[in-house]
Amino acid sequence: MSVFNEIHASGGGIQKMFTCWDGFVVKTMAYTTARVWGFLYFYDWLNPDPRRTARPDWYIMAGMAGGMLAGLIINPTDLVFTRMQVDELYPEQCRRNYKGIMDGLMKASEEGALMRGAVANGLRLGAICSSMTNVHDWCKENSYFFLGPSWINRLWATAAAAAVGTAASMPFDAVRVRMQTMRPLPNGEMPYKNSLDCFLKMWQYEGRMKYHGNFGCFFSGG
């Protein structure tokens, strides 16, 4: 709410809340299509039985594979969307000032940054798919024996799955955002070489110092 009030107080009204709406539409359509197709494709390959005997390990493998595929495919649009969302946090001379999703894609391509953070993005979506599907189906199916065909089954199963999916994906999301929005240092080098380097540096320099040895730096904004 404090962030919401700060954005509103900065001017621009409701329009400011819809920054890069075209990027969000493109990203959501691409992500949903790739994620669902990827998960179903790999799950059909692992479990061709039409009776669909649910197994947690197959859910995890298919979810991770489908999410990873979706993360790699949509990374360019995700990168542009993230950059446009945070652009106003920078001083005027440091902003990228993308006019829209297409302008951002072309400029990011010239920069050679379209796949920056793709591994972290794939792991983020893989963590969401593999964890949420398992938890949702387990909660819904088991509560049916106690509550019967009630709408509460889907409600609490979805809430539980969303909580687990958020916890599982946020560390990778923190790395993704750092990778996609980073700028060169004064010496011309990038702060992070890759997603693994970013994770290790966050844990070493921010986790130990600011959060006293835990992984709280990976859950900022949760």
2 lies in some domain: no
Please tell me the predicted confidence (pLDDT) of residue 115: 92
Find out whether 136 and 158 touch, Cβ atoms under 8 Å. yes
44 lies in some domain: yes
Please tell me the predicted confidence (pLDDT) of residue 201: 87
11 lies in some domain: no
Comparison of pLDDT for 121 and 141, the residue scoring more: 121
Domain count, the chain: 1
| Range with the poorest average pLDDT among 81-85, 89-93, 162-166 | 89-93
What the block records as the tokens of 7 is: 């954005």
12 lies in some domain: no
Please tell me the predicted confidence (pLDDT) of residue 221: 57
Residue 10 has phi, psi (to 5 degrees) of -75, -10
1 lies in some domain: no
d(CA 50, CA 55): 14
155 lies in some domain: yes
- CA-CA-CA-CA torsion sign (140, 157, 36, 134): negative
Other beta carbons less than 10 A from residue 109's beta carbon: 11
9 lies in some domain: no
pTM, two decimals, is: 0.77
In the chain, alpha helices (H)? 2-9, 21-46, 56-86, 101-111, 118-147, 151-181, 195-201, 208-210
Confidence tier at 42 by pLDDT (50, 70, 90): confident
Supply the range of the domain harboring residue 128: 18-219
Comparison of pLDDT for 219 and 187, the residue scoring more: 187
CATH of the domain at 133: 1.50.40.10
Please tell me the predicted confidence (pLDDT) of residue 66: 87
Give the largest Cα separation in the chain, rounded. Answer: 64
36 lies in some domain: yes
Of 166, 165, 171, 170, the C-alpha closest to 202 is: 171
- 107-115: average pLDDT: 92
Give CA separation, 82 vs 27, 76, 90, 132, 155, in Å: 10, 10, 13, 23, 30
The percent of residues above 90 in pLDDT, for the chain, comes to: 19
